[in-house]
Structure 1
């Protein structure tokens, strides 16, 4: 059974209303020890996310108020121009979470597989995803750290699931697991059975890698007809 976001997400979520003040957001980030929080409307729907980077725009750009000759550091200008944070200058003018946030937020759903959530984080370069229900209301949050927990499953649990999934007793496959690394030994009737066993094991939650030491008696892969030819 695949692990889904609901299995690893945090339900005690630090979040703010869109009308929360700059100081309220800053205090929440500091007191909860988080780097970003979802921003909600009055109906608990996620509008965006406000992060430490959004708040730092205040510091990076505040000198613009004291002189027209001030130019932010090149790194800051590039990040705010082409990055995912939006315009740092306009965020520096913001006084509420709604004005400071990055919107729309990248979100996920409770029933999504953790591997898909991980891919979404990597695609968008974010560290966390608010978890929303079908109406877009906040029900939790999942972070990179939460997803890593999947790889901390006990070897005994992984061993049991691998054996059940690949039917090791029927196929006489020897299974060993150490620190999440699965090793498969044995001789199967068909090449295709060995390939299937390895792929099934690789796709199980908590499996770091699969060492394939399987042999086979008949190479049914080499004799399979080719389709789609002229």
Structure 2
């Protein structure tokens, strides 16, 4: 994986979905067949309007006898919490954390599904090699903070923890440099020991 930044970089592109009128047995069959624990529910226009999860099915279906008459529309959690493919990985993680969600449907600008992102997908960024993370941190700092030619900055990364040392221009705050470093996917922490120019 090279330089993941957005949901599109880590999401699963195949989408298993259900129609509003899909019976619960059909939904369960799809979940088992594709090994997923939830499916987005689509309107007649193909837009994501809700999500049916295993918890929705187990919590609302009273018994086997009535399963044939229960549909995705009556089971789904709505409105659906979705994310755009261009959303940042950190933004998607915050959205999942706030809603205690395990996955999010990824939608295009018209609300149609283009993928699904799970907690596991977002965790992939922490498997990036330290050298790659260091390269991204260096790029962010040099692009946004440090004038061209002033490269008296050292970026070290060990197990995702970034240490910044060297000299910063007087116009640049250490707090801002650390915030930029922490925003790089795969960074677990950042510390700095700067001198000013």
Q: Same fold (TM over 0.5)?
A: yes
Given the two structures, how large is their TM-score scaled by the length of structure 2? 0.83
Instruction: Kindly report the root-mean-square deviation, in angstroms, between the aligned alpha carbons of the 2 structures.
Output: 2.7
Alignment of 1:132-211 (within 5 A): 132-167=107-142, 170-188=150-168, 190=170, 192-211=172-191
Q: Are the counterparts in 2 of residues 58 and 93 from structure 1 also a CA contact under 8 Å? A: no
Alignment of 1:97-136 (within 5 A): 97-136=72-111
Query: CA-to-partner distance for each residue in 1:42-93, whole Å, 9 max, x for gaps?
Result: 322112111111111356x449x9xxxxxxxxxxxxxxxxxxxxxxxxx989
CA–CA separation in structure 1 for the residues paired with 2:45 and 2:95: 26
Q: Are the counterparts in 2 of residues 191 and 216 from structure 1 also a CA contact under 8 Å? A: no
Given the two structures, how large is their TM-score scaled by the length of structure 1? 0.72
The structure with the larger Rg is 1
Higher alpha-carbon deviation: 2-11 or 45-54: 2-11
Runs of 4+ in structure 1 deviating by more than 6 angstroms, as ranges, are none
Alignment of 1:1-230 (within 5 A): 3-58=5-60, 61-62=62-63, 95-167=70-142, 170-188=150-168, 190=170, 192-216=172-196
CA–CA separation in structure 1 for the residues paired with 2:13 and 2:156: 35
CA–CA separation in structure 2 for the residues paired with 1:212 and 1:121: 30
Runs of at least 5 residues in structure 2 that lack an aligned partner in the other structure: none
- CA distance change for structure 1 residues 178 and 22 in 2, over 3 Å: closer, same or farther? same
CA–CA separation in structure 1 for the residues paired with 2:171 and 2:38: 49
Runs of at least 5 residues in structure 1 that lack an aligned partner in the other structure: 66-90, 218-230
Q: Are the counterparts in 2 of residues 194 and 216 from structure 1 also a CA contact under 8 Å? A: no
